[in-house]
Structure formats: C-alpha cells, structure tokens
Amino acid sequence: MPLEALPVLEIDGKKFCQSIAIVHYLAREFGLMGSNNMEALVIEELLEIFTEITIKHLMKMYHEKDHEKKVDLMKTIKETVMPRYIAFIEERLKENNGGKGFYVGDKVSVADLALYNTMFNLKKSMGKEGQDPFEGSNLLNAFYERVASLPNIAAWEKARPQTDM
C-alpha cells in the first residue's frame, strides 16, 4: 500500500492513494465533476470545505473517548462551527435553481454525493446525541431527501451493511 494507509485505488495493477485525489479522479472518470470548469470549481470548493471541517473539528470529536467531552464537542460544532458553513453551502445551493435541484448544474455531481454523505454521517453520529447540525435547515434537509430518493442511492441505503456510521 502506498504510504501504508487507506484509501487505496488500484487500476491495472497500479495503486494510488490520497482520498481527495481518488475522489477527483473517479468524479472525472464517471462524469460527476460538473459540465464545465466553473461547476468543477464550485464542486472542488465544497470538497475543500468538508476537508477543512473534518481536519479542524470532526477528527477531535471522532477520536474523543470521554462521552461527556464528545457530546460537548458535538454541541460546540453544532452551535459555533457548522452555522457559518451551512449558511455558505445553502447560498451556493440556492445559486443553482433556487436550491431545488442539484448542487451544480442539472445532473448529479460528486458535490451532491459528498454533501449527502456528510449530512448522513453527521446526522447519524451527532444526531443520536441530539446535536444534528442540520436541524432547522429546511433547504439542506430537502436536498438530503432528494438525493436519498435517487434510485441508486435509495437502493444502496437498503442494501448497505448496518454500521454505527
């Protein structure tokens, strides 16, 4: 394994690492990187936002062993960290069809999948402690339901192994 860490993508016997590089490659391969460079920029912006949130805030929460401290971190993330990110993401979403469609353009992109996945994970991990950071965000919750109802996503949700995340 390159760098002795996951994830790893193997293509024709060659192994590649680094999750963002893999995501970008797969998104381009499968037509999920938008229809033009401006859409790709908006998509990459969103992916970087999730990287920033994860590195600066969520990793501390996920690695905290003390339950009370973990719940306190969740509360801080919900109340002081996520509101500015959510407001920004909602504004970007509204820029495309008033927020009633996809994150960019007129077809599914990796931005839709990343936003759905992030919401799914945070709703599960933080929501079970009453700290869902998307509570009250009607626009994002409607987006979440739209993506969840896409045939391939809905099928995967039914078939996926049940885990804590």
* Domain parsing of the chain, residue ranges: 1-30, 37-159
Residue 119 and residue 4: Cα distance in Å, rounded?
29
Using pLDDT thresholds of 50, 70 and 90, give the confidence band for residue 73: very high
Q: How confident is the model at residue 163 (pLDDT cuts 50, 70, 90)?
A: confident
Asked if residue 165 has pLDDT above 70, the reply is: no
pTM, full prediction:
0.92
Domain 37-159: give its CATH code.
1.20.1050.10
- pLDDT exceeds cutoff 90 at 72: yes
* Cα distances (angstroms) measured from residue 138 to each of 54, 58, 99: 23, 23, 11
Tell me the three state secondary structure of residue 85: helix
pLDDT at position 164 is: 66
What residues pair up with 15 in beta bridges, in sequence order? 10
Task: Please write the tens of the pLDDT for every residue from 147-157.
Answer: 999 999 999 98
83-134 per-position pLDDT tens digit: 999 999 999 999 999 999 999 999 999 999 999 999 999 999 999 999 999 9
161 or 22: which leads in pLDDT: 22
